Structure 1
Amino acid sequence: MSAQFQGSLFDTADEPTLVPLADGLVRHDLTHGAWVDVRPRWVDGADDLFAHLHDHVSWRADEREMYERVVAVPRLLAWFGERSAWPHPVLDEARERLGDHYESELGGRFATAGLCLYRDGQDSVAWHGDRIGRSRTHDTMVAIVSLGSPRRLALRPRGGGESLSFTLGSGDLLVMGGSCQRTWEHAIPKTAKPVGPRISVQLRPRGVG
């Protein structure tokens, strides 16, 4: 599998590394106790990290039942648990850095990593909230590290209301917290624009899916 995308002009590191998290981290308060933190260009050398994950992760294609038929999930997937060997040391470091920063607010540490490979603009994820496990009833966090081509992450209140969106570039971090998984939904919409591949790394606490 080969990947073609426009590399970032901001990458300066010889290998993937994390810059300070708190510097440049901006919180956006939503409604019903939900919030989103955004830290642009948290990963320096993000293009190299994208290439490593793209070429070395064992991606799988899943199927799901929809409208009484089985259809292909429009993205490739991978998952790494607490006892798994994660596919790059910088992801282990990201897990620890996020834990150090958010533990007092989260009441725990980040534990798992789900990876999605969006191959082009037709790969997407529909409106949803991560409400499997304790996130169905309790506040939690999902941290997303975006790598590769920029894509729009859209959010809207559950049940309807005004939406907003963030265009995530390579190396950007977005953290959804508070009641966000219960009271809001998020999506990566399809786009007709020519876009290259993107990898999303979603870090979650134990018991959140």
Structure 2
Amino acid sequence: MKSINYPANLLPADGESYYFGRILSEQEEKKFFEILLKEVDWKQDEVIIFGKRIVTKRMTGWYGEKEFEYTYSKITRKAKIWTPELVELKNLVEEKTGLKFNSCLLNLYHTGEEGMSWHSDAEAELGKQPAIASVSLGAQRRFVLKHKSSGEKIELQLEPGSLLLMAGETQKYWLHRLPKSKKIKEPRINLTFRNIKK
């Protein structure tokens, strides 16, 4: 994985997370944001919490090279086939990371009042040491990682047009979240490129 010149690992132990900063120009970032906002088949996200089906304000889109089925939060979704813009972004992420991805889960947060609570992406379909490459478009948001045992936290600001890669044993030992913020009024699109194991 180190054949490409990676930035420093953000994590002190038990995993690998790399923040590449901006990989898109301001113009490119705005272009992709506007196209994806209009063209992705956005659906309200559903999760099951304590046996109750909750519909979230956050919206999601699920795309891939095949109609992969992916189950998270006890809800199963079937992927739509890549759009040209998603293929373009996937190719850029693969060039930057030296890794291959076959699917992408997109999240749309309308304002800072929508976020994600502590979780890890440890679904069986992703395999034992999943690599997840996260591209941020739109509003800058705070992102936090927390070690499952020690509680140690790592915080960073995800800039528009930036790339974050979580790999190795990160999902096994660390949780992550996107905290809410009433100060942020602008939307954010987050693309999480992944590999669904056949």
Counterpart secondary structure, 2:38: helix
- Normalising to structure 2: TM-score of the pair? 0.80
- Normalising to structure 1: TM-score of the pair? 0.76
Q: Which residue does the alignment assign to 2:151? A: 161
Distance 2:115 2:91 in 1: 29
Deviation at 1:128, TM superposition (A): 0.8
Q: Deviations over 1:114-171 (max 9, x none)?
A: 10000111111111111111656x2221000000000111100013412111111110
Q: Which residue does the alignment assign to 2:111? A: 120
Q: Which residue does the alignment assign to 1:96? A: 91
Q: Which residue does the alignment assign to 1:17? A: none
Counterpart secondary structure, 1:46: helix
Q: Which residue does the alignment assign to 1:72? A: 55
Q: Deviations over 1:67-116 (max 9, x none)?
A: 45332224100000213542343x3133234445545xx6xx21101100
Distance 1:189 1:207 in 2: 30
* 2:132 aligned partner, one-letter code: V
Contact 1:41 1:170 survives alignment (8 Å): yes
Distance 2:95 2:186 in 1: 33
Contact 1:142 1:202 survives alignment (8 Å): yes
Moved beyond 6 Å, runs of 4+: none
Select the residue among 131, 134, 139 that pairs with 2:129.
139
Contact 1:53 1:87 survives alignment (8 Å): no
Q: Deviations over 1:11-54 (max 9, x none)?
A: xxxxxxxxxxx68x522242443111111210121011101100
Select the residue among 60, 79, 83 that pairs with 1:87.
83
Select the residue among 42, 45, 58 that pairs with 2:23.
42
* 2:109 aligned partner, one-letter code: Y
Distance 1:179 1:31 in 2: 12
Q: CA RMSD in A?
A: 2.3
* 1:57 aligned partner, one-letter code: V
Contact 1:74 1:122 survives alignment (8 Å): no
Q: Which residue does the alignment assign to 2:71? A: none
Query: Runs of 5+ in structure 1 lacking a partner?
Result: 1-21
Compared with structure 1, are the counterparts of its residues 98 and 149 closer, same or farther at alpha carbon in structure 2 (3 Å cutoff)? closer
Residue 56 in structure 1 maps to residue 39 in structure 2: yes
Query: Runs of 5+ in structure 2 lacking a partner?
Result: 67-79
Contact 1:146 1:172 survives alignment (8 Å): yes
